């Protein structure tokens, strides 16, 4: 397969934004009236800010939630937001949510896959699949494929998959995705799932672009004040350099250590920016397309002090490899039993 025939080059656009730009900055003067968005994880951290900003711009936002009571409390008072039950680890739940949405007959303009878990103890879903791969990738894969008719109906939809700088912890290990034949490493499992998010965007874009569906993968930055760190102790976060010695978040946008408002910026940019018209299948950070990087001395380590100030940390080649993307899509079809019609 010719890898250059359908992948937008990973070349920065020099968008005019930076690490300190916020979601409110990148959506200025954009009117989303009449648009419908689904934001997974849209009631916590970056996802909640994404929901708030999209709704403020006029979008109707649907937030699927495993904990609907928490979602209702977090999103109380935000106009234009609807909460529905869904658990990404439960395939039947994903199908039920998608079926309910499709039954309404409405187009879906934006699908933002913001939910995720990071570095939990080894857990498997009912199929035996490791929980980070099941939640961060497979649940979102199934959701996107089930919602595909509504995305096509929008005639200009965008999918945004939240990946991470952490994709450099591991490529997808196709021969042992669920750690059945190797020792479980929570960070390698996280990295594998984040690489899968990028590969998903590459292949979703290839399959969808003729129908007007474009897909993007996002590194939001490292935001310590979210639920994503719930499996980590304060001492671990200090050792990583995410918290200072007083236990306060280290905020340094030049190294992509961000606030929640800054962290949501790239998701929003990928979802709504006219700068990305005609583009897709790329990995983005700091509200711009990232360059490709072969190595930077940080892979395999979650020590944030190793990061140097940079406008872009880049994406590793294995995460945007078209053959890997096709293989992952096919494996995901096999694991979920879900295919595009």
Tell me if 8 sits within 8 A of 322, measured CB to CB: no
What confidence score (pLDDT) does residue 1 get?
40
pLDDT value at 5 more than 90: no
pLDDT value at 306 more than 80: no
pLDDT value at 264 more than 90: yes
pLDDT digits (tens, 9 = 90+) for 26-49: 999 999 999 999 999 999 999 999
Answer whether residue 9 is part of any domain.
Answer: no
Answer whether residue 6 is part of any domain.
Answer: no
Answer whether residue 30 is part of any domain.
Answer: yes
**C-alpha angle 296/226/129, rounded to 5°?**
75
What confidence score (pLDDT) does residue 2 get?
42
CATH number at 153 reads: 3.40.50.720
pTM of the model: 0.92
Answer whether residue 7 is part of any domain.
Answer: no
Answer whether residue 315 is part of any domain.
Answer: yes
Answer whether residue 175 is part of any domain.
Answer: yes
Answer whether residue 18 is part of any domain.
Answer: no
pLDDT digits (tens, 9 = 90+) for 47-105: 999 999 999 999 999 999 999 999 999 999 999 999 999 999 999 999 999 999 999 99
Catalytic residue among 43, 190, 231, 283: 190
Residue with tokens 């509200």: 287
pLDDT classification of 6: cutoffs 50, 70, 90: very low
283 is catalytic: no
What confidence score (pLDDT) does residue 247 get?
72
Q: Which domain holds residue 238?
A: 23-336
Domain count, the chain: 1
Answer whether residue 5 is part of any domain.
Answer: no
Tell me if 120 sits within 8 A of 104, measured CB to CB: no
């Amino acid at each position: 397969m010719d890898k250059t025939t359908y992948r937008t080059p990973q070349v920065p656009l020099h968008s005019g934004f930076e690490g300190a730009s916020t979601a409110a900055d990148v959506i200025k003067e954009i009117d989303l009236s009449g648009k419908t968005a689904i934001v997974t994880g849209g009631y916590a951290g970056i996802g909640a800010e994404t929901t708030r900003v999209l709704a403020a711009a006029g979008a109707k936002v649907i937030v699927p939630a495993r904990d609907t009571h928490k979602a209702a409390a977090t999103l109380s008072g935000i106009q234009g937001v609807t909460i529905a039950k869904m658990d990404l680890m439960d395939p039947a739940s994903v199908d039920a949510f998608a079926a309910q949405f499709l039954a309404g007959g409405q187009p879906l303009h934006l699908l933002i896959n913001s939910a995720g878990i990071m570095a939990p103890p080894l857990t498997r879903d009912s199929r035996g699949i490791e929980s980070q791969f099941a939640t961060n990738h497979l649940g979102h894969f199934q959701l996107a494929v089930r919602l595909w008719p509504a995305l096509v109906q929008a005639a200009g939809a965008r999918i945004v998959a939240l990946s991470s700088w952490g994709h450099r912890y591991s490529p997808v290990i196709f021969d042992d995705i669920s750690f059945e034949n190797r020792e479980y490493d929570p960070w390698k499992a996280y990295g594998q799932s984040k690489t899968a998010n990028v590969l998903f965007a590459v292949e979703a874009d290839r399959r969808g672009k003729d129908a007007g569906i474009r897909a993007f993968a996002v590194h939001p930055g490292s935001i310590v004040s979210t639920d994503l760190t719930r499996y980590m102790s304060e001492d671990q976060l200090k050792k990583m350099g995410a918290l200072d010695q007083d236990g306060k978040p280290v905020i340094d946008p030049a190294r992509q250590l961000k606030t929640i408002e800054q962290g949501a910026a790239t998701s929003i940019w990928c979802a709504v920016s006219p700068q990305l018209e005609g583009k897709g299948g790329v990995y983005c950070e700091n509200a711009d397309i990232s360059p490709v990087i072969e190595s930077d001395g940080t892979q395999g380590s979650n020590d944030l002090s190793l990061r140097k100030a940079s406008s872009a940390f880049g994406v590793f080649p294995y995460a945007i490899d078209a053959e890997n993307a096709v293989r992952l899509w096919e494996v995901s079809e096999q694991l979920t039993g879900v295919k595009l019609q």
